[in-house]
Amino acid sequence: MGKYILKRVAFAIAVFFIIMTMIFTLFKLLPNPVPEAPGGYAQALRDMHEAWGYNKPIIVQYVIFLRNVFTRGDWGFCTTVGTFLMPVTSYIASKLPATIYVNVISVFVSLPLGIGFGIVAAIYKNRWQDHIIQVLIMFFISVPSFVYAFLLQYFVGFRLNLLPLIFKGGHDYFSWAMFKSALLPIMALSFGVVAGYMRLVRAELSETLTSEYMLLARTKGLTKAQATVRHALRNSLVPLMPSILAEFIYIISGSIIIEQIFAIPGIGQTTITAFYNKDYSVFMACEMFYVAIGLFAQILMDMSYGLIDPRIRMGGNKNNAL
């Protein structure tokens, strides 16, 4: 298992460098990589270009970029009006709380709802409860999250005036006003994830409930509810737990558009704004943030199989498996 994890980490690092190299090269092929400086900042902009080697060959620029990133954690400076010459790391750090707030709450809301409805669908398989849940699964998975965002904004926020149309700014993330303003984007991100959990739990639990060891558990005197909770549900967690990380990546990627729709001052909105403003240092740092999160989640996903079920061990030979 240890060798397998080391291989996965090495592979993730290699992928990270390949993607970073591709993005850096593509940015350097674009015309005017940094816009003109506002007001009297022209000299500061020229000094920044000189420090980062913008007038040198692209290979030299990339070496300087890698040295600054991995020795000083320096991803460059913002070039957008209003944040001009602000360090990219400080700028992105100020945007992280809003993204974490919305995405983490979406995961914690989606998980119990998806598991609960999935259990109901499995227990009442081929009955009217199951048919209704199946229709909801098909609908929620088929529609993108940004469509839900527009529908929720129009009907819940505008027509019914029940919730704010946009996210409340500020840093008081434990206030009711902040949570209330985040409900619409949380719901927009959660619908598809809840449906994914429901489908997975229903499929795994339906198969487990008809297995032979469940029949043995019932003959020993356990009720259907006891056998389901103690045996069936636990075995169904093997494919469920790794999927939590996959769904988190789905939420993170979907929040790029959701943050723009609900004016959430997070990484997603910053990514889109930086691209439109040609602030490529900020855009590259945001993109590599998403890449790092995805690669890290993949490693955790592979490790979770062996942690959930000790019978599963990766990286060993056949003799050890036997």
**What confidence tens digit (pLDDT) does each residue in 217-236 have?**
767 777 766 677 666 776 77
Q: What is the pLDDT of residues 169-183, one digit of tens each?
A: 777 888 898 899 999
Among 23-32, 108-117, 284-293, the range scoring the smallest mean pLDDT is 23-32
Q: What is the pLDDT of residues 69-107, one digit of tens each?
A: 888 888 888 877 677 778 899 999 989 899 889 988 988
Give the amino acid at 59: I
Structure tokens given for 255: 């929040």
Cross-strand pairs, 77: 87
Structure tokens given for 212: 């032979």
Structure tokens given for 139: 């609908």
When the pLDDT of each residue in the chain is averaged and rounded to a whole number, the result is 81
Residue 156 clears pLDDT 70, i.e. is over it: yes
Q: What is the pLDDT of residues 251-292, one digit of tens each?
A: 777 688 898 899 898 888 898 888 888 888 898 899 898 888
pLDDT of residue 319: 46
pLDDT of residue 318: 45
Nearest to 97 by CA among 192, 184, 190, 174: 174
Can you give the length of the chain in residues? 322
Residue 114 clears pLDDT 70, i.e. is over it: yes
Structure tokens given for 82: 């209003």
pLDDT of residue 119: 84
pLDDT of residue 320: 45
Nearest to 248 by CA among 190, 200, 304, 305: 190
Residue 40 clears pLDDT 70, i.e. is over it: no
4-27 mean pLDDT: 88
pLDDT of residue 81: 66
pLDDT of residue 154: 93
Integer Rg of the chain from CA: 24
Report residue 77: phi and psi, to 5°.
-130, 155
CB distance 180 to 208 below 8 Å? no
Distance in angstroms (rounded) separating the CA atoms of residues 78 and 88: 6
